[in-house]
């Protein structure tokens, strides 16, 4: 998974799905031994995704800042033309 090209929305959906899988395995792990093993494996996967979240979030913030800056520049140019 290359977080440079993944959108914030897509990455967030991935985390939600993985978290749901983890919760499902952890809940059933109370009575099923193999489910608790799957929950532990899922927690390792989630840890990696949560580490990547910071970079994806920063990229999203930069993209939003660029859009706002471009919009302000366009508004200022239009106001100056009048």
Please write the tens of the pLDDT for every residue from 26-78: 999 989 889 999 999 999 999 999 999 999 999 999 999 999 999 999 999 88
Domain count, the chain: 1
Q: For residue 6, what pLDDT is reported?
A: 79
Give residue 62's domain range.
8-81
- Asked if the structure places residue 1 within a domain, the reply is no
SS3 sequence of the chain: CCCCCCCHHHHHHHHHHHHHHHHHHHHHCCCCHHHHHHHHHHHHHHHHHHHHHHHHHHHHHHHHHHHHHHHHHHHHHHHHHC
- Asked if the structure places residue 2 within a domain, the reply is no
Question: Residue 81: is its pLDDT beyond 80?
Answer: no
Q: How confident is the model at residue 9 (pLDDT cuts 50, 70, 90)?
A: very high
């Amino acid at each position: 998974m290359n977080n440079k090209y993944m959108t914030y929305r897509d990455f967030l959906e991935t985390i939600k799905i993985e978290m749901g899988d983890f919760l499902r395995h952890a809940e059933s792990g109370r009575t099923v031994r193999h489910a608790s093993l799957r929950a532990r494996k899922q927690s390792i996967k989630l840890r990696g995704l949560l580490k990547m979240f910071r970079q994806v979030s920063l990229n999203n913030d930069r993209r939003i800042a660029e859009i706002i800056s471009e919009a302000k520049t366009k508004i200022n140019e239009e106001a100056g033309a009048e």
